[in-house]
Amino acid sequence: MNDLQHKFDNRAVEFDRDVLWERIEKPKPPSPWWKWRILLLLLLLAGGGAIHYYNGNNSQQLAKDVENDPIVKTTHVSNSQRLIQDKERITEHKEKNVSSESSMFQKSSSFSSSKEKETGDKSTRPESSITVKDEYTSILPNIPTKLSGITAEQSLRGVGSTSYIDGLRSFRAFDVGSTSYSFDKEEKNTKQPSLKSASRSEKKIQDEGILKTGIPTEYEFIASEVERIPLKITFLDQTEKRLPEFVRIESSNKQIDPVPTMLHQAHRIHIQGGYGWHNNIFGDSTSLRDKNMVKPYIGFNGTFTYEYQFPKIGVYTSLQYAAYQDNLKNVTVNVITGQGNVLASEYIQITDYDLYNNYRYLGLIIGLKKEWRKGNWGFSGAAGFGINVYAYNEGKLFNEEESIVNFGYSGSQINLRSLFGELEGGLRYYLPSGFYGHTSLTYQSPKHIHIELNDYEQKISTLFINMGIGKAF
């Protein structure tokens, strides 16, 4: 600096420094890293809470609807209908040989069960009904046309009762963007042992019908009982599942430098989940898997993931929240022999069960992730393990005795012993701004949840499709 410049620099000038200072644009301090991450987490949790609140309200409404309409569902399963038609044919054959002798039907003692009191959930069930398909009502005035209070367990305790799983696979599909996922495929390995026994029962009835020619009394009951724990199936609006618009903004193909830390939130969609097979922990190997055909419904699921990239490999930790419902469908066919009659009487009782169960859990996962970059695209593979830090299950299922039991309810004791593994394959598209779109497929090994109420151990194996956005720093 020359002397002249020095003189000029020290030359006294008069101006309002504060006013000028206010006019200057100063960079503000970067917000602490945790601020907007916590904001994302809060949004995630708030979204989940809102959806659950919404589901809860609709569940109550559905429950009211069911109470007002006790006959919710009649037999509609094709196999069951076929069985009934056969039985009708037999009945017509015997009708020709009806004598004037009548017999009084007495309600079978098999309809009463102390189990009903034990379960204590009768009040929550819709009034059951049995529709009498009977041409002899005029000569059998005491035959009840509507039996109330028959529980699922009672129906299962009928003499010679059999049950089979109808192999129901209701069509469940939802769209994510332009992609459709269907749950319509059949499970090939599903065992249906009860179906054979049902056929045997039918044959037995046929034989008896032939042998009892000339014996006038045989009545057929078609009982329909629907057990429903109503839960709203939440199909999210399609617009919510589409990737944000800015993901589709064309960007330059310049190479993006590797970034050390990344954070993303993803919405998770179950494509398999709640396939829970429920084991009695005191049983040896009796699995209830085949008795409970469950299908996952979409619920709210989300992850909040933080990654740190080392030069060769990255580490990540995720907080996962999953809440979903599954649907359990079961059909039982019971051949009930009336007791106290001189003449034998048999009834077929067909019951459809349509149970909806609730699952929620919060998991913490850590693992390693390797990503390969090609231009703006990133392909990744990850492996990790996690632990459930919270679980909530509510619903019913069939146990090995083919009785419906609660496996959890609000406030029930749940022992979390859930340590699980996770594998993930992912795809990302990085934007120059540091944001990236993210999609991945995640498999999580079965999570064990011990419900002390009924000494059940539940395993939930899940497969997710994740879609979300993230920010690299």
Partner 1 sequence: MKLPRNTEELVAKCLKGQAKAQRALYDKYINAMYNTVMRYTCNSHDTEDVLQIAFSKVFRKLKTFDPGKGTLKAWIRRICVTTAIDFLRKRSIQFASLDSVQLTVRDDFRIDQHMEIEYIMEYIESLNPQQRAIFNMYVIEGYSHGEIGDILGIGADSSRVYLSRAKKNLRRKIDHFRLQYKTI
List interacting residues with partner 1 (CB under 8 A).
1-5, 7-11, 13, 15, 17, 20-21, 23-30
**Cα(362)–Cα(177) distance, rounded to whole angstroms?**
26
Structure tokens belonging to residue 55: 């589901």
Minimum CB–partner distance for residue 50 and partner 1 (Å): 35
Q: Tell me how far apart the alpha carbons of residues 135 and 219 are, in angstroms, rounded to a whole number.
A: 8
Tokens of 440: 């991945």
DSSP 137: G
CB of 235 to partner 1, least distance (A): 46
Return the number of the residue (26 or 188) whose C-beta is nearest partner 1: 26
- DSSP readout, 271-300? EE----EEEETTSSS-B-GGG-EEEE---E
Cα–Cα–Cα angle for 167, 296, 168, rounded to 5 degrees? 15
Instruction: Considering the complex, state which of residue 25 and residue 240 has its C-beta at the smaller distance from partner 1.
Output: 25
**Residue pair 112/154 in contact by the 8 Å Cβ criterion:** yes
Name which of 11 and 96 has its Cβ closer to partner 1.
11
Tell me how far, at minimum, the Cβ of 299 lies from partner 1, in Å.
42
Give the burial class of 45: count Cβ atoms within 10 A of its Cβ; 0-12 exposed, 13-18 middle, 19 or more buried: middle
Per the CB < 8 A criterion, the answer to whether 80 and 167 are in contact is no
Q: Shortest approach of partner 1 to residue 29 CB, angstroms? A: 3
Residue of 428, 396, 441 lying closest to 270 (CA atoms): 441
Q: Three-class SS of residue 238?
A: helix
Given the complex with partner 1, which of 10 and 253 has the nearer CB atom?
A: 10
CB closer to partner 1 out of 1 and 342: 1
Would you say 384 and 368 are in contact if contact means Cβ atoms under 8 Å apart? yes
Integer Cα distance of 348 and 162 in angstroms: 10
Indicate the residue among 25 and 250 with the shorter CB distance to partner 1: 25
Q: How far is the CB of 52 from partner 1 (least distance, A)?
A: 40
Among residues 19 and 342, whose Cβ is nearest to partner 1?
19
Instruction: Output 24 or 342, the one with its CB closest to partner 1.
Output: 24
Tokens of residue 227, six digits: 């057990």
Smaller CB separation from partner 1, 32 or 141: 32
In the complex, the smallest distance separating the C-beta of residue 2 from partner 1, rounded to whole angstroms, is 6
CB of 447 to partner 1, least distance (A): 44
Nearer CB in complex with partner 1: 23/185: 23
Smallest separation, CB 4 to partner 1 (Å): 6
| Minimum separation from the CB atom of position 359 to partner 1 (A) | 46
- CA 174 to chain CA mean position, Å: 14
Helix (H) or strand (E) holding 5: helix 3-9
Tokens 């059909």: give the residue.
331
Residue 31 CB, nearest distance to partner 1 (Å)? 10
CA 53 to chain CA centroid, Å, is 17
- Cβ–Cβ under 8 Å, residues 466 and 321: no
SS3 436: strand
Backbone angles phi, psi at 224, to 5 degrees: -130, 120
Question: Helix 193-211 vs helix 78-95: angle between axes, to the nearest 10 degrees?
Answer: 10
